[in-house]
Structure 1
Amino acid sequence: MLFVVLAVLVSLAVAGVVVLYVAYPHRGEQVPGVPWLGDAMAKAADAAPVIEDEERDVLRLQ
């Protein structure tokens, strides 16, 4: 039972961070109250690898 409760809490925390990212840093705005969290999420998003348009075209052809 404890495992299930912890899993649900972790899932809610991750979902909250995703919603917070989409609501503020993704649109280029500061997170009210915790600007350090918005800065950290923006740095993490900039560091994440992305698929460029040219790579997408190559993947479609295969």
Structure 2
Amino acid sequence: MLVIAIVTLLSLALAGLVLFYVAFPHRGEKPPAPAEWLGDVLGKAVEVVPTIDPDERLEAGVGASSAGERHGAS
């Protein structure tokens, strides 16, 4: 039971971080004064994580064009 409670709390904390990131640093907004440090940390973490550029997505066949092809095939 304790393990379930700990995992639940960790997942809620991660969801809160994602929500905070989407609400502020991802949109280019400045976080509230008490949480500026968290915005800086999340911004730096996102710069380090590898991402796929939109051009690479189109080359790989991921995006709107492939979704239409999949829909028409079914």
* Shorter-chain TM-score above 0.5: yes
Deviation, structure 1 residue 56: 1.4
**Structure 2 Cα separation of the partners of residues 10 and 38 of structure 1:** 19
Q: Which is further off, 47-56 or 1-10?
A: 47-56
* 1-structure distance, mates of 2:58, 2:22: 27
- TM-score where L is the length of structure 2: 0.73
Bigger relative contact order, structure 1 or 2, given CA contacts below 8 A and separation 6+? 1
Q: Which runs of 5+ in 1 are unaligned?
A: none
After the TM superposition, which parts of structure 1 deviate over 4 Å for at least 4 consecutive aligned residues? none
Query: 2: CA distance between counterparts of 1:59 and 1:10?
Result: 34
Counterpart CA distance in 2 for 1:11 and 1:25 is 21
Identity of aligned residues (%): 46
Cα separation, 1, equivalents of 2:37 and 2:55: 34
Which segment drifts farther, 2-11 or 22-31?
A: 22-31
| TM-score (norm. length: structure 1) | 0.85
- CA distance in 2 between counterparts of 1:60 and 1:17 reads 31
Q: Supply the RMSD in Å over aligned alpha carbons.
A: 1.5
Q: Which has the larger radius of gyration?
A: 2
Looking at structure 2, the residues matched to 53 and 12 of structure 1 have their Cα atoms a distance apart, in angstroms, of 30
Q: How many matched pairs?
A: 61
Distance 1:4 1:42 in 2: 30
Q: Could you tell me how far 1:28 is from its partner in structure 2?
A: 1.0
